[in-house]
Amino acid sequence: MKELIIIGHKNPDTDSIVASLVFGNFLKKNKLLPIPLSNFKIKVGYSGILNKEVVFVLNYFKEKKPSLIKSLKGKNVFLIDHGDYEQSIEGVEEANIVGVLDHHKLGGIKTQAPIFYRAEPLGSTSTILAKMFFENATPLTKKEAGLLLTGIISDTLKFTSPTTTKEDKDIAYVLAEISKEDITKLSKKMFEAKSDISDISPDKLVTMDYKEFKAKGIKFAIGVHETVLPEKIFSIKGKIFQALERLKKKRKQKLMFFVVIDILKKNGTLFLLSEKETKIAKKVFGKQVKDNLMLLPGVVSRKKQILPKILKFLEENESIS
């Protein structure tokens, strides 16, 4: 039997991991999809580093972590929570992509055959997947509902991100009901786990929620660190900048942005590595820079509030040097 790897983006967040795990269950329970997925042996995978929120969630729900995947070359894959090559695992260009389930912008993925594709501009992939269970009248177990609930909480920062829709909230409350979880208590535990950087080096920290993009051939990256303890990061600011410099060189990026998101105060602080990033940030966000940092009040979403603006700027401006 052929194997199908279900996998989220590189350096997966909670949404990527739980949606992959629960989608694996969905396929096993559901043979009605418009692709012959029942012919596959399902394997849920991940690549990169699992952050502490993900580890907390897996332990809390007594769920095994997915299998570590090194390359997707020659494999049958179903992409979760991403839809472009840049966010995917190595070898994806030579994989047979049979499906995508996502809530991000469209990327450049091309396929030879028709695929299952579902994307909606909702707060999390977990929300879309919960909808699929409801649409197909497939029952969710207590654990599956709990896992999907953490995906929604994590991606929407407990409904405070501007990516949050009414559907995310409505579905989260249904999932809380099924899983018998208290959203406020569960969120607090998740965010505290995510904010614990006690044994994480600056080099690791800047890659844990790191995504690369391309606009007009310019490679750039935006890393994010969501926390309820931003002072922990500011106290090692110098080391963070050094780590960003190393990462920029290693990954051959033209621009390297890093944002610390204060979950409680609902703001973002942009770390500006060099003149280039500073110039662009000033034009794009129009805020003041102090000590190479720019405070962005109300900015908590890379997907909706940061990436589109930088992409637009790079696409409309020929030269960035």
Q: Which residues bind Mn ion (CB under 5 A)?
A: 15, 81, 124-125, 155
Closest CB 242 distance from Mn ion, rounded Å: 29
Note whether 29 and 129 are within 8 A (CB): no
As measured in angstroms, the least distance from the Cβ of 226 to Mn ion is 13
- Rounded least distance, CB 124 to Mn ion, Å: 5
CB of 250 to Mn ion, least distance (A): 25
Helices (H), ranges, the chain: 14-29, 52-60, 125-135, 142-156, 166-179, 183-195, 202-205, 230-234, 237-250, 275-285, 307-316
CB proximity list for 18: less than 8 A, separation 6 or greater:
57, 126, 147, 148, 150, 151
Per-residue burial over 179-218, b = 16 or more CB atoms within 10 Å of its CB, e = otherwise: bebebeebbeebbebbbebeeeebeebbbbbbbbbbbeee
Closest distance of CB 103 from Mn ion, Å:
6
If the CB atoms of residues 167 and 245 are measured against Mn ion, the closer one turns out to be 167
User: What minimum distance in Å lies between the beta carbon of 174 and Mn ion?
Assistant: 19
Nearer to Mn ion, 125 or 269 (CB): 125
The two structure tokens encoding residue 128: 């879309």
The residue with its CB nearest to Mn ion is 15
Pick 155 or 168: Cβ nearer Mn ion? 155
What distances in angstroms separate CA 35 from CA 111, 126, 136, 183, one per listed residue?
A: 14, 21, 15, 35
Q: How far is the CB of 200 from Mn ion (least distance, A)?
A: 22
DSSP for 21-83, written as a single string? HHHHHHHHH---SSS-GGGEEEEEEE-SPPPHHHHHHHHHTT----EE-S--TT-EEEEES--
Cα(261)–Cα(13) distance, rounded to whole angstroms? 15
CA distance 197 to 174: 32
